[in-house]
Structures are given as C-alpha cells and as structure tokens.
Amino acid sequence: MKREHRFLKGLFIGIMLVFLYAPIIVMIVYSFNASRTMGNWGGFSTEWYGALFRDRDILAALEVTLSVAVISSIVATLLGTTAAIGIHSMKRRTRNVILTTTNLPVVNPDLVTGISLMFAFSILMVPQGYTRLLLAHITFNIPYVILSVMPKLRQTSDSLYEAALDLGAKPSYALRKVVLPQIAPGIVSGMILAFTLSVDDFVISFFCQQGAQNLSTYIYSLARRGINPKINALSAIMFVVVLALLLLVNVISSQNTEEAKAKRREKKRRRMAAAEA
C-alpha cells in the first residue's frame, strides 16, 4: 500500500512538472529551428540567435526592461523594507489595518491597477515614457517586498535590538548590525521577486509605457502579426539566465545554512567542554 502511495505521488509530481515545463522545452527546441514556422522542422540552426542580437528594436526593449527591473527592484526593496520595519513596530490593531491596506494591490486585478496608475500619472502630469514606466513598477513592487520581509520580522526577537540599545548602540547602528542581518533572507527574496515581477509584467506596463516600450509590450505587438522565431530565442535565453540565478541563490543559501549549522555545533562543543572543565 505504501509502495502504491509513493508511486502515485511520484506520478502526480511528474505529470505536474511535464505540464509546467513542456511548453518551455518546446519553445527552446524550436528556437534552434531553421524554419520560420513551428509546424515545420527545417533542421538545427542558431540563425535566430544571431538575428536576435542584430535586431535593434528588441535590444532597445531589452535594455528598457532590464534597467526598469533593476532600478525598480532596488528602490522597491529599500522602500518596502523600511515600511515593513515601521509596520512591525506599530501596535497590533494599527499594524493589521496597514497590512490589509498594503495587501490590496497584491490581490487587486492588474487591469485596475494599470488604469488607476495611468489616470494618476496623467493628473499629476508625470512625464510620459520611461519615467511613468519606472514609477509604475516601483509602485506595484513595494507590497511584494513588504510581504517578503514581514515574516522574517515576526521571527526575530525585539529583545536583541533593545539589548543593543541598552549597551549604548545608536538606533541606526543597532538596525544595521542587529535587525538587518536577521531579515536579510526576506530582503533578498523580496528583491528577486520584485525583479521577476518587473520583467514579467505586461498589463500595468501596457497602460504606463507610452514612449518607452519594454519586452512584454514589444512581444505583444509582434505576436499580433504572428510568432517570430527571434522571440523563441530571446525567451530561451531569459529562461536560462533566470534558472542560473535561482541555482546561484540556492547554492549561496545552502552554504550560509551549512556555515550557520557549523557555528552552532562549534558553540555547543565549546559549552560542553567548558561544562566538563
């Protein structure tokens, strides 16, 4: 019975993984197709990768996408982390009200958020183009950073921060040396999530990108005229880069975990040696 349970469990996970990654694998395979149509395999070729790096429009959209993603994720992480620390220090009832308010943009449909930002930028006379796109991405990324940092703040103990103040540390120094190292995993996760969401976003960018086209809106304009093999090549490169970044983050996290375990074992060994002495 247990063997059948393990088999069914493995089968379900396998089907789920195939369902998730089969379209990506097909896209990567056809990025090496010499034919322009996906219905015909014309042989192995890297032609579309060369054509991709010669296409100035795609490279310009890629530059806008990456610059917006990097800047918005950094700014949103700074603002979101600061906001999370402030929210955590509030009284329980006030904290719950503020958290509910900050969670609204997360559950709110992107269509509503995009139209709202478009109207707000028009009323505030924010310059069209890159500035609107960047501000829009910063705005919708902040709640996700707060959601990533808050659980780490709940896991920390306020007594360490208060002990640092009692020992003469200034609040800024205690925040930098005591609080931030404890919530660093949440900050990194929030930044990665903000970067990914910025690269992936289409709906909000569609309403706020007048004059500065990113990849999602550019690919949408191309898709209306048919599937372009250069887009398969671009998507394959982006998938590999994101996969490499995730693997790197996991390796670094594993190393940090092993180092922390080694330090705890060493401290335990020292305490036992001191007790025996």
pLDDT band at 264 (very low <50, low <70, confident <90, very high): low
pLDDT band at 167 (very low <50, low <70, confident <90, very high): confident
Residue 58 lies in a domain: yes
Cα separation, 118 vs 105, whole angstroms: 15
Give me the mean pLDDT over the 144-154 stretch.
Answer: 87
Range of lowest pLDDT (39-43, 137-141, 223-227): 223-227
Residue 18 lies in a domain: no
Query: How many domains are there within the chain?
Result: 1
Residue 76 has a pLDDT of: 93
Residue 31 lies in a domain: no
Range of lowest pLDDT (132-136, 154-158, 182-186): 154-158
pLDDT exceeds cutoff 70 at 277? no
Residue 235 lies in a domain: yes
Q: Kindly report the CA angle at 255 between 254 and 260, in degrees rounded to 5?
A: 100
pLDDT exceeds cutoff 70 at 259? no
pLDDT exceeds cutoff 70 at 252? no
Residue 24 has a pLDDT of: 85
Residue 10 has a pLDDT of: 81
Residue 17 lies in a domain: no
Residue 150 lies in a domain: yes
CA 10 to chain centre: 29
How many residues would you count in the chain?
A: 277
Residue 265 lies in a domain: no
Give me the mean pLDDT over the 223-249 stretch.
Answer: 78
CA 81 to chain centre: 15
Residue 106 has a pLDDT of: 83
The model's pTM is: 0.78
Residue 90 lies in a domain: yes
Cα separation, 158 vs 89, whole angstroms: 9
Residue type, 30: Y
Residue 75 has a pLDDT of: 94
112-124 pLDDT, tens digit per residue, is: 888 888 888 888 8
Give me the mean pLDDT over the 90-100 stretch.
Answer: 84
Cross-strand pairs, 33: 44
Structure tokens at 33: 């197709």
Residue 60 CA neighbour count, 13 Å, CB half: 9
What is the CATH number for 168?
1.10.3720.10
Residue 71 has a pLDDT of: 94
pLDDT exceeds cutoff 80 at 268? no
Instruction: Identify the domain containing residue 79 by its residue range.
Output: 48-250
Residue 255 has a pLDDT of: 67
Chain mean pLDDT for the chain: 82
13-66 pLDDT, tens digit per residue, is: 888 888 888 888 888 888 888 777 767 777 788 888 888 888 888 888 888 888
